[in-house]
């Protein structure tokens, strides 16, 4: 495996060893002979009541997390939180009671099969902290992993699970954002986990640990990335009716919603799904969704909700209507900004069950809260990770002519390779290495956190993902980044994806001469990036999208027939040419 830029990696499997103690991949400080549940190993008090801040000391200097702000975020004792596809239980401890483990080589009893271990963690060392631990499998083999936790006061907001508005100290509250993180590390496919030895890492605190369950039996049919958390409405007692276009079809469906980047919970009072007739009208009466058997769900800050499996025939290559009623007041919402699709907003009331479009008098040009549609069965999914060229800028609104849409259509019309679902995780304005949205607060820019910072959420945690296709980098170059920074980031993506057992394809960066900031210096850096992509061997395959659309007479420019009009984004013909150039056998 080619090694990526490890300074940007948060976690990576290091090596595997044979069965038995002699095969241990790393030496760590001895812990209990028998693995114990994590809560029986708690040895630190991180959470205090605001009125009694002295009852906890998270960092050794008397500072602690506020129980009141955790409750306001929906992180209540014993609550199961789904973050990045992993189910983690916030400690059941009362304020002032032990609620986390200081990692010191303890053996933790945790079992299951999946693609990753998920840790709910924070550091108190003033900087990133971590070390190497060991997974023991049910067959006796052992695998080493490396776990790095950002600091609870200085770590990046872009990758946090939740940020709290203040922290407690013996002298009173401090208006400083306290961060908690979910970090995943890859597991060996197919091996059952029997126990986990934590690293010996002063300042690394573990609140919860689980195996991220496999998503077998499902195929992702539609998905979008949360690109920010903009102001909305405000919406009170309103129904959103979102139009989404499927790739793969199947006999049952489940829907995924996310409260990414949010500081407070959001309540979905009811939700339905239907096949679209026209506009906001359904072909038949919409079918209600359930969440753990309930008609609605509260999604804590930073968490996700997955609907119960629903017997519902989802046609391939078809528009669905996903309706959700928001009974409370929502002033800002996690959103995918660039839908290139009209959706709908009702007047007051729960109109999720309406077959008619009459109540939906408003329109939306974005997708709030909804992040995925999965269908039962199927061969799994391909993720397109990209920027506005993948997101659909330049394509015809409502026509589903983004290049991943055209690729999905090609897969459906052939029999030579599996008919994968295609998940579009393009974000307009996105960069490989720089966060355009800082990951916290109400968004003014909705270009998302960097591809590196969203890789786990938008690729590794996606439903039954098999392959990722990466088309990113032009925004980095237009923003002044040098080629070496972009190639280092792409190399990092390749290394991390391969550690997860994924196939990784990369596309060359398209020409942009004629765009207002695409200077000769940018063109020189673009050529350097593309030369590296073609020759470095960092990926399983290269898609030469540059060669597909460039003008042979002026290679720095796009062919006029493919240009969407601004010299940066292809139009419908150019996007179709990209998708048609893909050898489906590479997927």
Residue 1 resides in a domain = no
Q: How far apart are CA 39 and CA 99, in angstroms?
A: 7
Residue 218 inside a domain? The answer is no
Does residue 538 come out as left (phi exceeding 0), alpha (psi in the -120 to 50 range) or beta? Answer: alpha
Together in a domain, 366 and 387: no
422 and 357 in a common domain? no
Cβ-count burial 261-279 (b if 16+ within 10 Å, e if not): bbbebbebbbbbbbbbeee
The model's pLDDT over 451-479, given as tens digits with 9 standing for 90+, comes to 999 999 999 999 999 999 999 999 999 99
Per-residue pLDDT at 129 exceeds 80: yes
Residues 405 and 298 in one domain: no
Residue ranges making up the domain that contains 137: 6-212
Same domain, 320 and 461: no
Both 501 and 571 in one domain: the answer is yes
Q: Where among 154, 177, 212 does a domain terminate? A: 212
With respect to residue 289, please indicate whether it lies within any of the assigned structural domains.
yes
The pLDDT value recorded for residue 502 is 97
| Pair (349, 409) in one structural domain | no
pLDDT band at 33 (very low <50, low <70, confident <90, very high): confident
Domain count, the chain: 3
Tell me how far apart the terminal alpha carbons of the chain are, to the nearest angstrom.
19
Task: Give yes or no: residues 116 and 253 share one domain.
Answer: no
Q: In the listed set 336, 357, 372, which residue is the last one of a domain according to the structure?
A: 372
Asked if residue 390 and residue 274 are part of one domain, the reply reads: no
Q: Output the six-digit token pair for 62.
A: 């008397």
Shared domain for 51 and 179, answered yes or no, is: yes
Q: Taking residues 419-431, what's their average pLDDT?
A: 98
- Is pLDDT of 367 > 60? yes
CA distance 151 to 584: 43
Let me know whether 274 and 148 are in one domain. Answer: no
pLDDT band of residue 32 (cuts 50, 70, 90) is low
Q: Is residue 383 part of a domain?
A: yes
pLDDT tens readout for residues 150-184: 999 999 999 999 999 999 999 999 999 999 999 99
Query: If pLDDT is split at 50, 70 and 90, which confidence band does 216 have?
Result: confident
Q: Domain end: 212, 232, 253, which one?
A: 212
Q: How confident is the model over 488-538, as pLDDT tens digits?
A: 999 999 999 999 999 999 999 999 999 999 999 999 999 999 999 999 999
- pTM exceeds 0.85, yes or no: yes
What is the pLDDT confidence band of residue 39, given thresholds at 50, 70 and 90? very high
Query: For residue range 79-107, what is the model confidence (pLDDT) as tens digits?
Result: 999 999 999 999 999 999 999 999 999 99
Specify if 219 maps to a domain.
no
| 15 and 164 fall within a common domain | yes
For residue 269, is it within any domain? yes
Per-residue pLDDT reduced to its tens digit, 268-326: 999 999 999 999 999 999 999 999 999 999 999 999 999 999 999 999 999 999 999 99
Do 508 and 401 lie in a common domain?
yes
């Amino acid at each position: 495996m080619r090694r990526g830029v490890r300074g940007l990696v948060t976690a990576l499997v290091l090596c595997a060893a044979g069965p038995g103690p002699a095969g241990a991949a790393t030496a760590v400080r001895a812990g209990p002979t028998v693995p114990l549940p994590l809560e029986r190993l708690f040895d630190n008090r991180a959470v205090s009541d605001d009125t009694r801040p002295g009852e906890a000391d998270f960092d050794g200097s008397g500072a602690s997390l506020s129980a009141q702000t955790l409750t306001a975020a929906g992180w209540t004792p014993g609550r199961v939180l789904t973050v990045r596809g992993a189910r983690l239980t916030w400690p059941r401890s009362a304020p002032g009671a032990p609620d986390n483990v200081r990692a010191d080589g303890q053996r933790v009893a945790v079992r299951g099969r999946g693609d990753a271990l998920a840790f709910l963690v924070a550091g108190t060392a003033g900087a990133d902290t971590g070390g190497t631990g060991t997974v023991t499998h049910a067959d006796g083999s052992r695998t080493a992993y490396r776990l790095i936790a950002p600091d609870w006061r200085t770590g990046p907001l872009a990758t946090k699970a939740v940020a709290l508005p203040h922290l407690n100290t013996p002298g009173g509250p401090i208006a400083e954002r306290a961060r908690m993180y979910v970090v995943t590390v890859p597991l060996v496919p197919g091996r059952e986990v029997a126990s986990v030895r934590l690293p010996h890492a002063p300042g690394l605190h573990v609140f919860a640990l689980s195996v991220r369950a496999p998503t077998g039996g499902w195929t992702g049919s539609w998905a979008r990335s949360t690109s920010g958390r903009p102001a909305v409405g405000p919406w009170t007692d309103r129904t959103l009716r979102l139009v989404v276009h499927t790739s793969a079809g199947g006999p049952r469906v489940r829907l995924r919603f996310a409260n990414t980047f949010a500081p407070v919970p959001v309540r979905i009072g009811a939700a339905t799904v239907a096949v679209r007739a026209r506009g906001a009208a359904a072909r038949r009466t919409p079918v209600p969704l359930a969440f753990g058997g309930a008609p609605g769900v509260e999604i804590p800050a930073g968490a996700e909700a997955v609907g119960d499996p629903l017997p519902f025939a989802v046609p391939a290559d078809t528009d669905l209507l996903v309706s959700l009623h928001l009974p409370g007041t929502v002033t800002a919402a996690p959103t995918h900004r660039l839908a290139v699709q009209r959706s709908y907003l009702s007047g007051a009331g729960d109109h999720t069950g309406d077959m008619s479009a009459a109540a939906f008098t408003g329109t939306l040009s974005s997708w709030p809260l909804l992040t995925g549609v999965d269908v039962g069965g199927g061969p799994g999914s391909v993720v397109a990770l990209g920027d506005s060229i993948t997101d659909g800028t330049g394509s015809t609104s409502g026509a589903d002519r983004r290049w991943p849409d055209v690729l999905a259509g090609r897969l459906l019309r052939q029999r030579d390779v599996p008919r994968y679902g295609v998940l579009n995780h393009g974000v307009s304005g996105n960069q490989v290495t720089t966060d355009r949205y800082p990951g916290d607060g109400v968004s003014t820019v909705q270009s998302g956190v960097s591809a590196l910072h969203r890789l786990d959420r938008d690729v590794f945690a996606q439903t039954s993902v098999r392959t990722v296709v990466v088309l990113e980098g032009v925004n980095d170059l237009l923003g002044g980044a040098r080629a070496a920074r972009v190639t280092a980031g792409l190399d990092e993506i390749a290394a991390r994806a391969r550690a997860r057992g994924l196939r990784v394809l990369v596309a060359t960066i398209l020409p942009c001469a004629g765009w207002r900031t695409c200077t000769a210096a940018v063109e020189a850096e673009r050529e350097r990036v593309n030369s590296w992509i073609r020759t470095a061997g960092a990926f399983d395959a290269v898609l030469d999208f540059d060669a597909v659309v460039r003008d042979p007479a002026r290679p720095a420019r796009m062919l006029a027939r493919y240009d969407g009009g601004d010299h940066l984004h292809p139009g419908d013909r150019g996007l179709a040419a990209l998708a048609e150039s893909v050898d489906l056998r590479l997927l």
